Structure 1
Amino acid sequence: MNQRTHNHESTGGLSVARLAAMADALTVPDGGFTVDPATGDAARTGYAVAVHPECEHICDGRVTADDLAAYLTRTRHVLALPGRVFGGWCDPGTRRVYLDVSAVVATLPAALELGRAAGQRAVFDLDAATSIPVPPAPSPVAGKETPAEPTPPIPAPRAERTPPPCPPGNHARTATSKPSRPTPAGRKPTPKNKPDSTPKRSTGGPRKSPTSRRSPKNGSPHSR
């Protein structure tokens, strides 16, 4: 069995004639293909993105059907993964040909994100049959750091409230106690601030009884 026959057996549903037509598509600037190697069907809608940088193969010259078959043989285990397709693209700027294992996604933002993560220069729009450059990731402004997600401020610790100092001489006073009245100089304090003595009555002689009557000068009230 020669090398050509072995390569053809490793290409799945792609015939030699089909491989030759795919090689011809790579001679056109920005030309290429996206094919399921198991069935030979071409993907016609969505965006093709090379997602396996380790499988990328760059050709500086013309690519032949044998080159495509050899690439399919080397990468057959990766192409067997779900959703993987065989992709080829001719860079219109350098005329280099890129062979890749690609994935097809439905939206352009998702394709560009995958392409940026894989370090790809472009993704391929299958509907428009044209490539779309992958923009570089935005770089932070010099001298400014990328702001992180805001975090709630940490509350300051509450200061302990210290009661105001008591005035001198009032340490035993409470909120319900009443201030004592000052004691005049020279007098001794008495319990409960009562006067030290009961006021004395004036001494103007013997007190007359309210029931006593003064007898008349002439004698007893019974005398006539």
Structure 2
Amino acid sequence: MTRRRNVLRVLGLSCALTVVAATAGGDMPGGGRAASEGFPAVEARIVTLVQQVVRTGGFTVDPRRGSAPTTGYAVATGRSTARVEPAAAFFDGDGPQALRTYLLDHAAALTRDPELMLGAWYDRAARRVVLSLVRIVSDRAAAVRCGRSRHQRSVYDLTARREVPTGLPMS
């Protein structure tokens, strides 16, 4: 608990709440539900979501409703919940199964926290697709701080539909 209090002091409240929520509890064995059982709105659109990654470079979607937020800044919860998929395999047919597996692996966290979203980002330079749990932060400065604290080189502005650099170098 002391570590979490220190995180609150260092990162600021809006970012720290995300860190605490993302790290609290962890996925319990047997605590999740099958992706198709728990997230039918996303399961119904899974092929379309893979195509969206190709067309637009990614997506952020509420797995419970299948809707995409249109305002705020998408910030990944951190490296511990991210999964990297080779772009060639993802786009050549493995994408739908990769998304299903990711949902299944993170079903407990997504069910427990209704503010968590499912995100995917196509890192063209590295030829990879990054799947992650995402939180929407309304304030730009807070989003940039959160992204930087999680070693992200950018966060995504959902309104302007563009990346916002955090100031970290390209890796």
2:117 counterpart of 1:90: no
Shift of 1:7: 4.5
Fraction of identical pairs, as percent: 32
C-alpha separation in 1, matches of 2:160 and 2:96: 25
Contact 2:152-2:168 at 8 Å conserved across structures: no
Aligned-partner SS, 2:54 = coil
C-alpha separation in 2, matches of 1:118 and 1:124: 14
Structure 1 residue ranges, 4+ long, deviating more than 6 angstroms after superposition: none
Higher relative contact order (CA 8 A, sep 6+): 2
| 1:108-151 deviation line (CA, Å, top 9, x unaligned) | 111110011111122111112222222139xxxxxxxxxxxxxx
C-alpha separation in 2, matches of 1:51 and 1:40: 19
When the two structures are superposed, what TM-score results if normalisation uses the length of structure 1? Answer: 0.53
2:102 counterpart of 1:71: yes
C-alpha separation in 1, matches of 2:35 and 2:149: 32
C-alpha separation in 2, matches of 1:91 and 1:33: 12
Shift of 1:75: 0.6
Equivalent AA in structure 2 for residue 19 of structure 1: I
| 1:48-73 deviation line (CA, Å, top 9, x unaligned) | 00013211001113422121111000
Select 2:49's aligned residue among 14, 22, 29. 22
Which runs of 5 or more residues in structure 2 are unaligned? 1-33
| 1:149-181 deviation line (CA, Å, top 9, x unaligned) | xxxxxxxxxxxxxxxxxxxxxxxxxxxxxxxxx
| 1:59-97 deviation line (CA, Å, top 9, x unaligned) | 113422121111000011222214111111111322311
Question: Which of these two proteins has the greater Rg computed from alpha carbons?
Answer: 1
Bigger proportion of residues as strand: 2
Shift of 1:31: 1.1
C-alpha separation in 2, matches of 1:67 and 1:11: 15
Bigger proportion of residues as helix: 2
Q: Write the mapping of 1:119-198 to structure 2, written as runs, cut at 5 A.
A: 119-136=151-168
Select 1:118's aligned residue among 150, 156, 170. 150
Give me the CA root mean square deviation: 1.9
When the two structures are superposed, what TM-score results if normalisation uses the length of structure 2? Answer: 0.69
C-alpha separation in 1, matches of 2:46 and 2:104: 13
C-alpha separation in 1, matches of 2:164 and 2:122: 13
Which runs of 5 or more residues in structure 1 are unaligned? 1-5, 138-224
Q: Write the mapping of 1:28-47 to structure 2, written as runs, cut at 5 A.
A: 28=55, 31-47=57-73
Equivalent AA in structure 1 for residue 96 of structure 2: A
Shift of 1:45: 0.9
**Matched residue count:** 130
Contact 1:7-1:66 at 8 Å conserved across structures: no
Aligned-partner SS, 2:155 = strand
Contact 2:72-2:158 at 8 Å conserved across structures: yes
